[in-house]
């Protein structure tokens, strides 16, 4: 099975331009950002509740505690929230009207929770509108893991952040291209 495309910075800018110009821009943008900046799976994003992301004072949490029921491996894990992602979450908060802790973090246009499949379709449509071939709902996650790997982050840390049980799984997510290999040999 072919892996999801890793999104380049240029493609990400194009994607965000499409998202920002479209309907439900704030909601769609935060969904993309949770994938790209935190490596969350689409099912994990769909499962999030307001109380998972915001504290009682409606400040973005430093860590999102993913419940076992949210995750693919049915194992709870902690997702660390970067400063960039916190800014995105704060911007999203400004667009929300009724905020209740037990409500879904993302709502469909019918005001219901997204299913993983529906959110997956939304991601696919957004990537298609941005003209990014080969991108899927897993592209943000692969981009997150690849960027960490190429920034010199320990494989064990990446594996833990991704919620993988085995390093070999994490390694399959890491993309390599000619530019990266060219830079690597120049280090020697």
- Please give the mean pLDDT across all residues of the chain: 91
Can you give the residue ranges of every domain in the chain? 9-140
- Of 23, 2, 52, whose CA–CA distance to 126 is shortest? 23
Is the confidence at residue 175, as pLDDT, over 90? no
The gap from C-alpha 81 to its chain's centroid, in whole angstroms, comes to 11
CATH code, 9-140: 1.10.443.10
CA distance 48 to 41: 11
pLDDT at 1 over 70: no
Instruction: Please give the average per-residue pLDDT across 55-77, as a whole number.
Output: 92
CA distance 145 to 51: 26
Cα Dmax for the chain: 56
Dump pLDDT digits (tens) for 67-126. Answer: 999 998 888 999 999 999 999 999 999 988 778 878 999 999 898 999 999 999 999 999
Q: How far is CA 105 from the centre of its chain?
A: 14
At 37 the pLDDT is: 96
Instruction: Give the predicted TM-score (pTM) of the model.
Output: 0.90
């Amino acid at each position: 099975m072919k892996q999801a495309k890793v999104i380049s910075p240029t493609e990400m800018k194009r994607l965000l331009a499409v998202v920002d110009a479209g309907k439900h821009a704030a909601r769609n943008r935060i969904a993309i950002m949770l994938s790209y900046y935190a490596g969350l799976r689409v099912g994990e994003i769909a499962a999030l509740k307001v109380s998972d992301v915001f504290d009682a004072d409606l400040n973005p949490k430093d860590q999102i505690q993913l419940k076992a029921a949210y995750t693919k491996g049915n194992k709870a894990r902690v997702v660390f929230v970067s400063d960039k992602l916190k800014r995105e979450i704060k911007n999203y908060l400004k667009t929300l009207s009724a905020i209740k802790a037990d409500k879904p973090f993302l709502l469909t246009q019918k005001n219901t929770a997204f299913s993983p499949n529906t959110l997956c379709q939304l991601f696919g449509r957004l990537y298609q509108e941005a003209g990014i071939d080969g991108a899927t709902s897993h592209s943000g996650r692969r981009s997150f893991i690849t960027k960490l790997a190429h920034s010199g982050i320990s494989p064990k840390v990446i594996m833990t952040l991704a919620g993988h049980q085995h390093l070999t799984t994490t390694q399959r997510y890491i993309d390599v291209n000619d530019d990266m290999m060219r830079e690597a040999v120049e280090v020697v």
